[in-house]
Each structure stands twice: as C-alpha cells, then as structure tokens.
Amino acid sequence: MTFLSVVIALIIEQFRPLRSDNLVHGAVRAVVRWIEQSMNAGDRRHGVIGWVVLVLLFALVTGFLYWLVWLAGPVPLLLFQVLVLYLTLGFRQFSHPFSRIQAALEAGQLDEARAVLTDWKRETDPEFSAERLSAGEVARAALLRALTLVHRHVFGVFVWYVLAGPVGAVLYRVTESAARIWHRPDTARFGEFARAAFAVIDWLPVRLTALGFAIVGNFEDAMYAWRTGAARWGDESGAIVLAAGGGAMGLTLAGGAEHPVVLESSGAADASEADVGLKRTVRAEHLKAAVGLVWRAMVLWLVLLLLFSIAMWVA
C-alpha cells in the first residue's frame, strides 16, 4: 500500500498541483508562528518546549486520524495515505518559478528570468536581488534553489513516509517549517533547537537524496563532489545535496569563492552560509537536465520500494 499511495499521489499532483498558498500549508505555518509567539521569551529552552509541543500536536492528530481510518478498512486507509502525501510531497508545489525561469532563459528574456528568480528567492531572503546577475548566474541560482527544494518537498518526505508512514511525512514537513520559520534574527535563540533537531531528522534523507542523484547521474563526479563538499563543509545538509546534484550533472565543485551563494539551510545555524562553486558555467539546458535527473532519481527509489514491497508480500 505504501508504493501504491506514493504513485497515486504523484499522479494526482501532476494533474492537480497543490497551490503554494493552500489552506493546509497556511494553517501549519500559522500554528508554527503561534507557538513561537506564545512561547518565545528569548531563551533556548523555550524553543525546546515549543518544538516538543509542535511535534506532539501534529503526531497525535495524524496518528489518531490514521488509527480511525485503519479501523474503517483498507480503502479509507489508502485514501488517507494518498491525501497526506498529496499535501506533503510533490514536485509541482515549487516547480512553477523554476519552469518560468527555464522558459525565459531559453527565449533570451533575461530580465523576465531575473524578475521571477527575485520573487522566488525573496520567499526566504527578502533582500535578494537578481538585477545584476548574468544569464549563467540566474540559471545557477535557480538550479541551486530547485535542488534544495526538491529534496525537502519530495525525497525527504518520501524517506520519512517509507520509514514511519503518514506520521513521518507530516512530521518531516512540520519540523522543516519550524526550522525555517524560526530562523530569523529575532528568533535566533528560540529556533536553535528546531534547526539542530531538523539537521538530525534530515541526516538520512540528505544522504539518500545525494546517493540517488549519484546513481542516476554522473556517479564518479557526484561522489567526488560529495566527498569534497563533506571535507569542506562537514555535515551541512544543503551542501551535500547541492554537491552531489551538481556533480551528477557534471557540474563539480570548484575551490574558493568564485561563485558565492547563501545556502537556504534549515540545519545548523552556523552552517547556513557557505560558498558553493560550480566548475562549469550553468546554462539554460542544465535546468532541463536537472528535471531529468530528479525524475530518474524518483523512479529509482520507486522501483526499489516496489521490489521491497514485493519481497515483504512474498515473505
């Protein structure tokens, strides 16, 4: 049922993508902000309490609903799992700006690509501006953001759904939201634990995402970039995904800060800014290649999940 739920949710999402301003995601963000406003007294321990309250709230609600539909039978259970995945997992939740940037660059409309990238990046960095970026730099920034988001919206959710069912998928997205929303100057102390906790939660998904990119892409370059990134930035999750994803497309890491970029990380606070360099100039065709890379990685994990499900059923 796990495999079937993922496939059905992905198919539905392709034809009926969830809007980024949907009510469910808005409600989650509202709860995260309410907990911060209610408990933030400027101390780290309040952040620990707030995070525990948040996790328990969503775990209990999701677990209770899962228990109810389990009692109702296999069909309601399947529908519930598909609904949870539809709300938590999906390419189309973030792919629209990426597709617009790709189309604008292919048409030679650099100003349009800059404008879309600026709006997209300002969701997490209000001061970002792409006004002076070249076409290659715009493509590169779009690629880096897309690889980060595809991990958090697709592969991270997928891993935790396989490990812990609907509760795992919900908690992954909720803890990611808390780590991101509580990562502001005025919530730095309050959000420390949320970021550290998410770094632990994301440890396995990050490495499986990177491994998937390596297997379906340029394996040698991806592994080299991964090792180089690990030696330079340690366990910074964003760097691992970007290093392996870039290497899988032949865009291996370069030394120095010739292409500085701020990682949009929900992990350790001190590791949220790092220089990530790509040796080759990124062009519009690399954005298309990235889409293919991501889908091949998704198919890889679906096939492995199918084989595992068959083995469990036979056993």
pLDDT tens string 2-21: 999 999 999 999 999 988 78
Task: Tell me the pLDDT tens digit for each residue of 199-220.
Answer: 999 999 999 999 999 999 999 9
> Given this model, what pLDDT does residue 309 score?
92
Three-class DSSP category at 260:
strand
Lowest-confidence pick of 85-89, 134-138, 159-163, 231-235: 231-235
* Residue 110 clears pLDDT 70, i.e. is over it: yes
Domain coordinates of the chain in residue numbers? 2-314
| Nearest-angstrom CA–CA distance, 94 and 24 | 16
Q: Do β-strands 274-275 and 260-261 pair in parallel, antiparallel, or remain unpaired? A: antiparallel
Task: Tell me the pLDDT tens digit for each residue of 259-312.
Answer: 333 334 444 333 333 344 445 678 888 999 999 999 999 999 999 999 999 998
Task: Tell me the pLDDT tens digit for each residue of 184-195.
Answer: 877 889 999 999
How high is the mean pLDDT of the chain? Answer: 87
User: How confident is the model over 113-122, as a mean pLDDT?
Assistant: 94
| Nearest-angstrom CA–CA distance, 80 and 92 | 20
> Given this model, what pLDDT does residue 255 score?
37
Task: Tell me the pLDDT tens digit for each residue of 272-281.
Answer: 333 444 456 7
* Residue 72 clears pLDDT 90, i.e. is over it: yes
> Given this model, what pLDDT does residue 29 score?
95
φ, ψ of residue 244 to 5 degrees: the values are -70, -40
Instruction: Give the pTM.
Output: 0.89
And the tokens for 58?
A: 């969503």
